[in-house]
Structure 1
Amino acid sequence: MSNWYSESSPLERRTFWASFGGWALDALDVQMFGLAIPALIAAFGISKADAGLLGSVTLFFGAFGGWLGGALGDRFGRVKALQITVATFALATFACAFAMTYTQLLILKAVQGLGFGAEWACGAVLMAEIIRPEHRGKALGSVQSAWAVGWGAAVLLSALVFTYAPTEIAWRLLFALGLLPALLIIFIRRGLKEPPRAIASEKTPFLATLSGIFHRDVLRATLIGGLFGIGAHGGYAALTTFLPTYLREVRHLSVLGSSGYLAVIIVAFFCGCLASGIISDRIGRRVNVAFFACACIITVLIYIFAPLTDGEMLVLGFPLGFFSAGIPASMAALFSELYPAGVRGTGVGFCYNFGRIVSAAFPFLVGFLSDHIGLGPAIGIDAAFAYSLVLIAVLLLPETRGKVFEQAAATRA
Structure 2
Amino acid sequence: MSTQPVAEREPVLIRSARDVTELVNSGAARGSHAKMIVLLALGGIFLDAYDLTSLAYGITDIKQQFGLSPAGAGAVTASISVGAIFGAWLGGLLVDRLGRYRVFMADMLFFVVSALGCALAPNMEVLIFFRFLMGFGVGMDIPVAMAFLAEFSRLKGKGSKGSRTAAWSPAWYVATSGCYLVIMALYFVLPDEHHGLLWRFTVGFGAVPALVILLVRNKYMNESPSWAANQGDLERAAKILRKSYGVNAVVAPDAEVVKPQAERRGLRDFAQLFQPRYRARTFQALVIGLAQTFGYNAVAYGLPIIIASILAQGALNTITASLVLNLVFAVTGGLLGIRLANRAGAWKMTFIGFAVQLTSLVVLALIGKPSATAYVLFAIFALGAFMFAQASGPGAHFMSFASLSYPTTMRGTGIGFNQGTLRVGSTLALFFFPVLSASLGSGVFWVIALAPLMGLVALLAKRWEPVGYDADAIEAEWQQEKAAATS
TM-score by length of 1: 0.89
* Farther off after superposition, 126-135 or 303-312: 303-312
Q: 1:202 and 1:81, CA in 2 relative to 1: closer, same or farther beyond 3 A?
A: farther
Q: Deviations over 1:11-63 (max 9, x none)?
A: 44112211222211222221111111111111111123321222223222212
Partner letter of residue 225 of structure 1?
A: A
CA distance in 2, matches of 1:226, 1:141: 17
Q: Equivalents in 2 of 1:372, 1:67: separation in Å?
A: 33
Asked if structure 2 preserves the Cα contact closer than 8 Å seen for 1:129 and 1:405, the reply is no
Cα deviation for residue 309 of structure 1 reads 2.9
* Cα pair distance change 1:222/1:315, threshold 3 Å: closer
Residue in structure 2 matched with residue 350 of structure 1 by the alignment = 417
Q: Select the residue among 469, 473, 483 that pairs with 1:403.
A: 469
Change (3 A) 1:305 1:32: farther
Residues 282-317 of structure 1: per-residue CA shift (max 9 Å, x gap): 122212211111111111332353245333344444
Equivalent residue for 2:124? 102
Amino acid at match of 2:223: E
Normalised to the residue count of structure 2, the TM-score between the two structures is 0.77
Is 1:149 aligned to 2:174, yes or no? yes
Structure 2 residue aligned with 1:188? 217
8 Å CA contact 2:285–2:398 kept in 1: the answer is no
Q: Is 1:161 matched up with 2:186?
A: yes
The equivalent of 1:140 in structure 2 is 165
2:21 matched to which residue of 1? none
Greater percentage in helix: 1
Q: Which runs of 4+ in 1 moved over 6 A?
A: 407-410
Cα separation, partners in 2 of 1:192 and 1:408, compared to 1, 3 Å = farther
Structure with the greater alpha carbon radius of gyration: 2
Aligned to 2:76: 54
User: CA 1:266–1:89 in structure 2 vs 1: closer, same or farther (change >3 Å)?
Assistant: same
Compare 306-315 and 179-188 and name the one that shifted more: 306-315
Contact in 2 for aligned 1:138/1:278 (Cα 8 Å): yes
User: Which stretch of the first structure deviates more once superposed, 215-224 or 95-104?
Assistant: 215-224
Once the two structures are superposed, residues 133-156 of structure 1 have per-residue CA deviations (whole angstroms, 9 ceiling, x without a partner) of 112222222232111111111111
TM superposition shift of 1:274: 1.9
Contact 2:112 2:207 in 1 (8 A): yes
Cα deviation, residue 351, structure 1:
1.2
| Distance (whole Å) between structure 2 residues aligned to residue 362 and residue 209 of structure 1 | 29
Q: Is the 8 A contact 2:88 2:417 kept in 1?
A: yes
Residues 7-406 of structure 1 mapped to structure 2, 5 A cutoff: 9-134=31-156, 135-163=160-188, 164-165=190-191, 166-180=194-208, 181-195=210-224, 196-197=226-227, 198-199=230-231, 200-201=259-260, 203=262, 205-207=264-266, 208-267=268-327, 268-306=329-367, 307=370, 308-325=374-391, 326-374=393-441, 376-378=442-444, 380-397=445-462, 398-406=464-472
**DSSP 3-state at the match of 2:312:** coil
Unpaired runs of 5+ in structure 1?
none
Residue aligned with 2:296, SS: helix
Cα separation, partners in 2 of 1:137 and 1:236, compared to 1, 3 Å: same
- Cα deviations by residue, 1:244-276 (Å, 9 ceiling, x for unpaired): 022123323232212221122212111111212
1:90-133 Cα offsets, whole Å, 9 max, x none, are: 32122011222212212221111111111111101111111111
Structure 1 residue 327: Cα displacement: 1.0
Deviations 1:55-95 (A, max 9, x none): 22322221221122121111111122111112213321220
Residue 361 of structure 1: how far off its partner (Å): 0.9
Letter in 2 for 1:105: L
Checking the alignment, whether the CA contact within 8 Å between 2:361 and 2:382 is kept in structure 1 is no
Matched letter for residue 153 of structure 1: G
Q: In the superposition, relative to structure 1, how do residues 223 and 408 fare at CA in structure 2: closer, same or farther (>3 Å)?
A: closer
Aligned-partner Cα distance in 2 for 1:72–1:61:
16
Q: Check 1:243–1:71 CA distance in 2 against 1; reply closer, same or farther (3 A cut).
A: same
Query: 1:408–1:30: structure 2 CA closer, same or farther, 3 Å change rule?
Result: same
Kept after mapping to 1: 8 A contact 2:365/2:446 = no
Distance (whole Å) between structure 2 residues aligned to residue 212 and residue 182 of structure 1: 36
Q: Deviations over 1:362-399 (max 9, x none)?
A: 2222222233322x322x12321112222222333422
Aligned-partner Cα distance in 1 for 2:217–2:448: 35
Given the superposition, is the C-alpha separation of residues 86 and 201 from structure 1 closer, same or farther in structure 2, using an over 3 Å criterion? Answer: farther
- Give the percent of matched residue pairs that are identical in Structure 1 and Structure 2: 21
> Partners of 2:55 and 2:261 in 1: how far apart?
38
1:215 CA displacement: 4.2
Would the alpha carbon gap of residues 303 and 192 (structure 1) be closer, same or farther in structure 2, given more than 3 Å must change?
same
Q: SS of the counterpart of 1:65? A: helix
Task: Calculate the aligned-residue CA RMSD, in Å.
Answer: 2.5
* 1:145 partner SS: helix
